[in-house]
Amino acid sequence: NRQWILRQRPHGLIQDGDLELVETLVPELKDGEVLVRTIYLSIDPTNRTWMNDSEGYLPPVGLGDVMRGLTLGVVEQSRGERFREGDLVMPLSGAWADYAVVPEAGLRPVHRAPGLPLTANLSVLGMTGMTAYFGVTDVLKAKPGETLVISAAAGAVGSIAGQVAKQRGCRVIGIAGGAEKCRWLTEDLGFDGAVDYKNEDVGDALDRLAPDGIDLNFENVGGDIMIAVWNRLKVHGRMAVCGLISAYNATRMPPSPNFARIITHRLDVKGFLVLDYAHRAKEMVAEMGPWLADGKIHWKVHVDDGLEGAVGSLNRLFTGDHDGKLMVRVSEE
């Protein structure tokens, strides 16, 4: 059983030696425990924040501990009563490892969506879809005709969020790195505009694409990109702070916007965590399911093979060198 152990806290992008892949024996199961073989490991920006020794929504991963991660796996052995060999499951607290021994109460069942690959359960119908869906519908309460700007728009969450907002009748502008990602947003996903932040000035492009200002911001990046959007939010504009990826690896904190605008423009700024919506998954599936079946929502996954490459995979999120929801295939389905 291979496990990734956190050896030292990374400074910037993760370097060799920050984590170590070690071989261990799978312990004997006790009553009520289940052995889960990892099939997919979800690679998420928040994984990097768990490596920092800072206050977060979960405690940091301890030095010498197995790296925490969201996984989807299959039951190989069970000494529990609810789960049987062959059941697909998601541990509530998963790990970067081939196998995990989990108390039965710490498992959620996974139901394959008819007609969709299993990767959908870790992406568009999983945490990614939940974040996008509730961020747009519940946090922002997006309404028809409103102009919404999304950063990291060609990423897993951003691309779904933009499409949910289109379904809600918004005008959607995405900010992404590179011409190809921007082309995908406007030509394939139906966004009304895209800003290539690597090759053009974000503020100038927003002035051109949203000359009357911005009603809604679905924020995934922070720093200068967020400031450019913030400075164009209209009176009573609303902002959902979903993520600040530009800060997760940063060795110096990126700049912040001027909070005076919250007063002068009576802005509504809300942070949210998808965890708080876990009990509302059915609402998302009820609305997104038919959109997916009708081909109204496009989604991509980027699968890297092999647990041994997990660290390199995580680093991809910070360079943008991936195309869709990033995950590692640890073993065959």
Going by C-beta distance under 8 Å and a sequence separation of 6 or more, which residues neighbour residue 40? 71, 72, 73, 118, 119, 122, 303, 327, 328, 329, 330
Instruction: Work out which of 123, 131, 163, 167 binds ligand NDP, going by CB under 6 A.
Output: 131
Tokens of 141: 């309460």
Q: Annotate each residue in 302-321 with x if it binds ligand NDP (CB under 6 A) or - if it does not, as one string.
A: ---------------xx-x-
Q: What are phi and psi of 286, to 5 degrees?
A: -60, -40
- How many amino acids of this chain bind ligand NDP (CB under 6 A)? 28
Instruction: Work out which of 63, 235, 273, 293 binds ligand NDP, going by CB under 6 A.
Output: 273
Q: Could you give the CA distance from residue 219 to residue 240 in angstroms, rounded to a whole number?
A: 6
Of residues 32 through 61, those in contact with ligand NDP by CB under 6 A are 44-46
Rounded to 10°, the helix 202-209/223-230 angle is 30
Tokens of 229: 């959007």
Which range binds ligand NDP by CB under 6 A, 22-30, 67-75, 98-106, 125-133? 125-133
Query: According to the binding rule CB under 6 A, does residue 155 interact with ligand NDP?
Result: yes
Which range binds ligand NDP by CB under 6 A, 83-91, 176-184, 257-265, 284-292? 176-184
Rounded to 10°, the helix 127-134/156-167 angle is 40
In this complex, which beta carbon is closest to ligand NDP, that of residue 118 or of residue 241? 241
Query: According to the binding rule CB under 6 A, does residue 126 interact with ligand NDP?
Result: no
Of residues 187 through 246, those in contact with ligand NDP by CB under 6 A are 220-221, 225, 242-243, 245-246
* Closest approach of ligand NDP to the CB of residue 177, in Å: 3
Q: Could you give the CA distance from residue 238 to residue 272 in angstroms, rounded to a whole number?
A: 13
DSSP characters over 79-122: -SSS--TT-EEEESS-BSBSEEEEEGGGEEE--PPTTS-GGGGG
Which residues contribute to the site for ligand NDP (CB under 6 A)?
Answer: 44-46, 127-128, 131, 152, 154-158, 176-177, 181, 220-221, 225, 242-243, 245-246, 272-274, 317-318, 320
